[in-house]
């Protein structure tokens, strides 16, 4: 019985590790290798700005200050090309991080926002905040 429990646990951990690796790989593969910039689009009222945006990349962290409503383009950290892999984004020094997808109810400077993180037509990261 002990051997069977051990083997079941080992198989479960192995499957979990493979699934986590495949999940991370698909996000990395989705971004174009020539992306050396990323875009942040803000459609929040001025009283919600400025917004501190911190992004995590395979090449390091990038912190930018988005001053107000509008579209902004920033360079990814590190040498490029090849473009680094995107990991996550956080806002205003918060500990909550967000990856690809749509996130509702995100607290930013006392405002509640929807954040959509995806790829633009050229395959580069775009973060929309509204």
pTM of the shown model: 0.75
Structure tokens at 34: 């020539």
State the DSSP code for 25: H
The whole-angstrom separation of Cα 109 and Cα 113 is 10
Q: Percent of the chain at pLDDT above 70?
A: 77
The confidence band for 2, taking pLDDT boundaries of 50, 70 and 90, is low
The pLDDT tens digits of the residues spanning 75-121 come to 999 988 898 999 999 999 888 999 999 999 999 999 999 999 999 99
The percentage of the chain sitting over the pLDDT mark of 90, rounded to a whole number, equals 67
Residue pair 101/128 in contact by the 8 Å Cβ criterion: no
User: 3-state DSSP call for residue 31?
Assistant: coil
């Amino acid at each position: 019985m002990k051997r069977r429990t051990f083997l079941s646990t080992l198989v479960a951990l192995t499957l979990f590790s493979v699934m986590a690796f495949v999940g991370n790989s698909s996000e990395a593969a989705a971004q174009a290798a020539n992306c050396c910039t990323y875009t942040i689009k803000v459609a929040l009222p001025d009283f919600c700005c400025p917004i501190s945006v911190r992004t995590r990349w395979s090449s390091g962290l990038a912190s930018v200050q988005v001053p107000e409503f509008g579209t902004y383009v920033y360079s990814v950290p590190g040498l490029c090309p090849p473009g680094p892999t995107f990991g996550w984004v956080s806002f205003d020094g918060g500990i909550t991080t967000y990856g690809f997808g749509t996130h509702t109810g995100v607290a930013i400077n006392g405002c509640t926002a929807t954040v959509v993180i995806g790829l633009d037509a050229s395959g580069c990261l775009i973060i929309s905040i509204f």
